[in-house]
A = this chain, B = another copy of it.
Amino acid sequence: MVVLTELEGAILSEIHHRGAGTAFKVRKAFLSSPSLEWSGSSGAVYPAIRRLTTEGLIYAEAQNSARKGSNLGLTARGVDALNGWICDLDRASGLGLDPFRLRSGLWDELPVAVRLKQLAGLLIVLKTDIANLEAYGAGLDRVEKRRVDLSILQQKARAGWVEAELSRARGDDLKIET
């Protein structure tokens, strides 16, 4: 069975489930989506698509329209590989690289005044991000909508955590002042 990287899985699903017909459209999806964490750089996408084509997971047929750019699609093997990737339980349940979690234990070590400022700033950024995600959510296809909804859920969970930390930190602050 072919094992796909996260980027390769994302590319296959963009083609298969979200109708990206060309490498360029895959790139555009990455560039514009707040939930897809790749830069959409041509230096990543084109080599990956070439790789997938060489392995027989993607086929490319010339386009008949004026616009050049080959129409991409998944072969039967490609669909199998994609399904295997989608249903990989261990990968799916992995925590991933989370910059928030990585720092969460460290904010506690900051002096109370700095900590309060940091957490307050964080809360603002998170709430702005939630608002942006909610605005972006309108008029998306199911696949991306689902991902954005989860992103919102995640940011709200973080915001709740920060609020709890903030009231704790304010408690610490009082203890020091008195």
Residues of A whose CB lies within 8 Å of any CB of B are: 6, 9-10, 13, 17, 34-37, 83, 85-87, 89-110, 114, 118, 121-122, 125-126, 129, 142-147, 150-151, 153-155, 157-158, 161
Contacts and interface: CB of A to CB of B under 8 A. Distances in A.
Contact of A86 (B34, B90, B107, B154): B107
Looking at A85, A108, A121, A146, the one whose CB has the most chain B CB atoms below 10 A away is: A146
A111 to B, nearest CB: 10
A140 B110 CA distance: 19
Looking at A90, A93, A110, the one whose CB has the most chain B CB atoms below 10 A away is: A93
B93 A13 contact: no
Copies of this chain, tallied across the complex: 2
Given A93-B122, A96-B96, A153-B157, A142 B108 contact: yes
Looking at A86, A92, A101, A161, the one whose CB has the most chain B CB atoms below 10 A away is: A92
Nearest to A106: B86
B129 A93 contact: yes
A15 to B, nearest CB: 12
